[in-house]
Homo-oligomer: A and B are copies of this chain.
Amino acid sequence: MTELVHARPDTPRAALVTVGDELLLGDTVDGNAAWLGRALAELGLRVVHRTTVGDDPAAIRAALQDEAARADVVLVTGGLGPTEDDRTREALAQAAGVALRTDPEIVAALEERYRARGYERLPPTNLRQAEVPEGARALANAYGTAPGLALEVGEALLVALPGVPREMRGLFEDHVRPLLASRFEGRLTPVHVRRVHTTGIPESVLAERVEAALEGLEAAIRAAVEVAYLPDLRGVDLRLTARGARKQAEAALEAVEEALADVVAPYRFDDPEGDLAGALGERLRARGLRLATAESCTGGLVGRHITDVPGSSTWYAGGVIAYANRAKTVLLGVPEQLIEAHGAVSEPVARAMAEGALRTLETDVAVAVTGVAGPGGGTPAKPVGTVWLAVADRWGGGDARLERFAGDREAVRERAAQAALKAVYDHVAPA
């Protein structure tokens, strides 16, 4: 159980209600629920339950009352828009047994906002957004029109937030976080989190090695840190969580991080967002180096990840998507005979691609990827997932390696792209 082993007995319980027909009908995936769950858990609350209902005031009211009976705080998202389908305000009022009244300050703010955008007047439908349950506090929305609402219902605090993710997150940070911190002062176990980003090692193998490495730790320290494995196509993130007073928590985290250092070292990269291209960019920028890419099976995915990083033009000159074999020759100077002799997916061709990119784009370092992404194109000698990676630098250094990636076309391409970024990252590591 990923339950918080060290939660205090008086840890406040949180519950969520997410509102919208589009959620029940599957038109929208409930990303808000995941974001809030994580934010509340890291704040130190225990998320105990979640309900999703459609745009039906009776169902919303029932869900609010139900969750309010089992939690100290209930967050409800959605249903605060200006249309007829937006029923959360009235449901909240009904759950609290109070009336809705129009708040003139909110009306004035809405009118001002529309005037500023060049509209002559506020569309009448938007007036609904100024309705506030008696006794509720409006939470100013700097990111949209609907204010959030906070209201006591029985022993519980109910907080209504817009469903638009950017607005929801903005109001959470502006209002909800400080509100909860003060309401539950003394009851929130501070959470300290460290993330270790890895790529190139499967979750199960990593978990086995990490657990073995942690066995040597003192029992109290090992018990103080929860280790979670968060895998996706790009790699596995290790999330280390410790609760309690900063000094002891950080000491425990430090001990755990040290204990697994050797295990993760070959696979680890450092970036605040867990973005390998960002980490690579930092290394290249710090050393004043420029990179070129030569891609075949990844078809532009490596370039895309690199250029996802703002400011990448500082350290990335560009690249070649040499998808057809002829393109490898005309764009990268890979001799036709080399491709004929060894095949496009081979060490000599990978190396020639990297050297070609280095030369043509006049950079300090270059990386090449050539492989069989699937579903077709595999042979017994080179099945789907076979990928050659090569790095070349202008001081004559270079490296090539063969990988076998599991999974479908998408998985092979993504894993190959990550491996290419990691290959350069390692090649330009500080001495």
Contacts and interface: CB of A to CB of B under 8 A. Distances in A.
Contacts of A81: none
Contacts of A53: 49-50
CB-based closest 3 A-B pairs:
A299-B307, A300-B303, A300-B300
A339 interface: no
A33 B30 contact: yes
Interface in A388-420: 409-410, 413
A306 interface: yes
Contacts of A374: 310
Contacts of A257: none
A29 interface: yes
A355 interface: no
A321 B308 contact: no
Interface string A46-64: 0111111111000100000
A362 interface: yes
Interface in A204-226: none
A331 B320 CA distance: 9
Nearest to A290: B324
B48 A54 contact: yes
A41 to B, nearest CB: 5
A230 interface: yes
B331 A361 contact: yes
Given A26-B38, A304-B304, A317-B327, 10 more contacts: A29-B31, A49-B59, A299-B306, A300-B302, A310-B374, A310-B376, A317-B323, A318-B320, A318-B323, A331-B360
A24 B52 contact: no
A21 interface: yes
B303 A321 contact: yes
A36 interface: yes
Contacts of A1: 21, 54-55, 84-85
Nearest to A3: B21
B326 A300 contact: no
Nearest to A410: B308
Contacts of A317: 323-324, 326-327
B51 A24 contact: no
A228 interface: yes
Contact of A22 (B2, B31, B323, B362): B2
18 contacts: A1-B21, A2-B21, A2-B27, A26-B33, A26-B39, A30-B33, A48-B59, A51-B52, A293-B300, A299-B303, A299-B312, A307-B321, A310-B376, A313-B324, A318-B320, A319-B320, A320-B321, A321-B321
A316 interface: yes
Contacts of A301: 300, 304, 307
Given A318-B321, A320-B320, A321-B319, A27 B228 contact: yes
